[in-house]
Protein backbone atom coordinates (compact mmCIF):
# COMPACT_ATOMS: atom_id res chain seq x y z
CA UNK A 1 0.00 0.00 0.00
CA UNK A 2 1.27 3.47 -0.89
CA UNK A 3 1.77 6.13 1.78
CA UNK A 4 1.02 8.86 -0.81
CA UNK A 5 2.63 11.43 1.46
CA UNK A 6 5.41 13.97 1.40
CA UNK A 7 6.81 17.08 2.98
CA UNK A 8 5.54 20.04 0.98
CA UNK A 9 7.12 23.48 1.07
CA UNK A 10 4.75 26.13 -0.25
CA UNK A 11 6.73 28.97 -1.83
CA UNK A 12 4.63 32.12 -2.00
CA UNK A 13 5.64 35.65 -2.98
CA UNK A 14 5.91 36.71 0.65
CA UNK A 15 6.52 33.55 2.70
CA UNK A 16 7.09 29.82 2.92
CA UNK A 17 4.89 27.26 4.66
CA UNK A 18 5.76 23.63 5.34
CA UNK A 19 3.45 20.68 5.90
CA UNK A 20 3.48 16.91 5.84
CA UNK A 21 0.45 15.77 3.88
CA UNK A 22 -1.14 12.96 1.96
CA UNK A 23 -2.85 13.23 -1.42
CA UNK A 24 -1.38 16.65 -2.21
CA UNK A 25 -2.63 16.23 -5.79
CA UNK A 26 -6.05 17.20 -4.38
CA UNK A 27 -4.72 20.76 -4.22
CA UNK A 28 -6.10 21.15 -7.74
CA UNK A 29 -9.56 19.78 -6.90
CA UNK A 30 -12.47 22.14 -7.63
CA UNK A 31 -15.94 21.72 -6.23
CA UNK A 32 -17.23 23.94 -9.02
CA UNK A 33 -16.42 21.33 -11.65
CA UNK A 34 -15.88 18.26 -9.43
CA UNK A 35 -12.61 17.68 -11.27
CA UNK A 36 -8.93 18.01 -10.56
CA UNK A 37 -7.07 20.56 -12.62
CA UNK A 38 -3.48 21.62 -13.03
CA UNK A 39 -4.04 24.94 -11.29
CA UNK A 40 -3.90 25.30 -7.52
CA UNK A 41 -7.34 25.98 -6.05
CA UNK A 42 -7.14 28.64 -3.31
CA UNK A 43 -9.63 26.92 -1.00
CA UNK A 44 -7.62 23.69 -1.14
CA UNK A 45 -4.42 25.62 -0.47
CA UNK A 46 -5.97 27.13 2.67
CA UNK A 47 -7.31 23.70 3.69
CA UNK A 48 -3.84 22.18 3.45
CA UNK A 49 -1.70 25.07 4.71
CA UNK A 50 -4.09 27.26 6.69
CA UNK A 51 -2.99 26.14 10.14
CA UNK A 52 0.72 25.91 9.34
CA UNK A 53 3.20 28.48 10.57
CA UNK A 54 5.21 30.48 8.09
CA UNK A 55 8.70 31.81 7.61
CA UNK A 56 10.02 34.40 5.19
CA UNK A 57 13.33 32.57 4.85
CA UNK A 58 13.82 29.74 2.34
CA UNK A 59 16.72 28.18 4.25
CA UNK A 60 14.60 28.06 7.41
CA UNK A 61 11.72 26.45 5.50
CA UNK A 62 14.09 23.79 4.18
CA UNK A 63 15.49 23.15 7.66
CA UNK A 64 11.96 22.67 8.95
CA UNK A 65 11.15 20.36 6.04
CA UNK A 66 14.34 18.34 6.62
CA UNK A 67 13.50 17.90 10.31
CA UNK A 68 9.96 16.84 9.45
CA UNK A 69 11.33 14.31 6.97
CA UNK A 70 13.78 12.98 9.54
CA UNK A 71 10.94 12.39 12.03
CA UNK A 72 8.50 10.90 9.54
CA UNK A 73 8.39 7.09 9.71
CA UNK A 74 7.38 6.87 6.04
CA UNK A 75 7.60 9.56 3.40
CA UNK A 76 6.94 8.40 -0.14
CA UNK A 77 7.66 11.62 -2.06
CA UNK A 78 10.29 13.28 0.14
CA UNK A 79 10.52 17.06 0.18
CA UNK A 80 8.72 18.82 -2.65
CA UNK A 81 8.35 22.53 -3.37
CA UNK A 82 5.01 23.90 -4.52
CA UNK A 83 5.23 27.34 -6.11
CA UNK A 84 2.41 29.85 -6.01
CA UNK A 85 2.95 33.30 -7.47
CA UNK A 86 0.71 35.02 -4.90
CA UNK A 87 0.97 36.34 -1.38
CA UNK A 88 -0.72 34.43 1.44
CA UNK A 89 -3.23 37.29 1.83
CA UNK A 90 -4.12 36.99 -1.87
CA UNK A 91 -4.64 33.23 -1.50
CA UNK A 92 -6.90 33.71 1.54
CA UNK A 93 -8.86 36.50 -0.18
CA UNK A 94 -9.42 34.31 -3.27
CA UNK A 95 -10.42 31.37 -1.06
CA UNK A 96 -13.00 33.56 0.71
CA UNK A 97 -14.46 34.51 -2.69
CA UNK A 98 -14.44 30.93 -3.97
CA UNK A 99 -15.73 29.12 -0.87
CA UNK A 100 -19.37 30.31 -1.10
CA UNK A 101 -19.52 29.20 -4.73
CA UNK A 102 -18.06 25.80 -3.83
CA UNK A 103 -20.51 25.46 -0.92
CA UNK A 104 -23.42 26.15 -3.26
CA UNK A 105 -22.07 23.67 -5.82
CA UNK A 106 -21.69 20.93 -3.19
CA UNK A 107 -25.16 21.57 -1.79
CA UNK A 108 -26.67 21.32 -5.26
CA UNK A 109 -24.75 18.11 -6.01
CA UNK A 110 -25.70 16.56 -2.66
CA UNK A 111 -29.42 16.69 -3.27
CA UNK A 112 -29.54 12.89 -3.56
CA UNK A 113 -29.26 12.61 0.24
CA UNK A 114 -26.14 10.42 0.29
CA UNK A 115 -24.00 13.06 1.97
CA UNK A 116 -20.90 12.16 -0.07
CA UNK A 117 -19.41 15.64 0.32
CA UNK A 118 -20.57 16.36 3.91
CA UNK A 119 -17.06 16.52 5.32
CA UNK A 120 -15.87 18.92 2.61
CA UNK A 121 -18.96 21.05 2.98
CA UNK A 122 -18.41 21.28 6.74
CA UNK A 123 -14.74 22.31 6.23
CA UNK A 124 -15.70 25.06 3.79
CA UNK A 125 -18.42 26.40 6.08
CA UNK A 126 -16.01 26.39 9.04
CA UNK A 127 -13.48 28.30 6.95
CA UNK A 128 -16.10 30.90 6.09
CA UNK A 129 -17.06 31.28 9.77
CA UNK A 130 -13.46 31.64 10.96
CA UNK A 131 -12.45 34.04 8.19
CA UNK A 132 -15.55 36.25 8.46
Q: Are 21 and 42 in contact (CB under 8 A)?
A: no
| Eight-class DSSP state of 38 | S
**54, 50, 26: which is closest to 40 by C-alpha?**
26
Q: How many domains does the chain have?
A: 1
pLDDT in tens, 68-79: 999 999 999 999
Residue 1 banded pLDDT, cuts 50, 70, 90: low
Which range of residues forms the domain containing residue 21? 5-131
Confidence of residue 112 (pLDDT cuts 50, 70, 90): low
DSSP state of 88: H
Helical H segments across 38-87, by residue range: 42-49, 58-71
Percent of the chain with pLDDT over 70: 95
**What is the rounded distance in angstroms from the CA atom of residue 108 to the CA atom of residue 8?**
33
CA gap 91, 87 in Å, rounded: 6
Can you spell out the DSSP letters for 85-110? SS-HHHHHHHHHHHHHHHHHHHHHHT
pLDDT bin (cut points 50, 70, 90) of residue 129 is: confident
Angle at CA of residue 41, ends 99 and 56, nearest 5°: 105
Q: Which range among 10-14, 53-57, 107-111 shows the weakest confidence by mean pLDDT?
A: 107-111
Residue 119 pLDDT more than 70? yes
Tell me the pLDDT band of 108, cut-offs 50, 70 and 90: confident
Amino acid sequence: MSADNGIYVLKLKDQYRVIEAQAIDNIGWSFLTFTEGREIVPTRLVEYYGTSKYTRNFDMAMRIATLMLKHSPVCEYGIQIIKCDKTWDQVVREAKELAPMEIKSIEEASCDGRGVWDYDLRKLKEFMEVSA
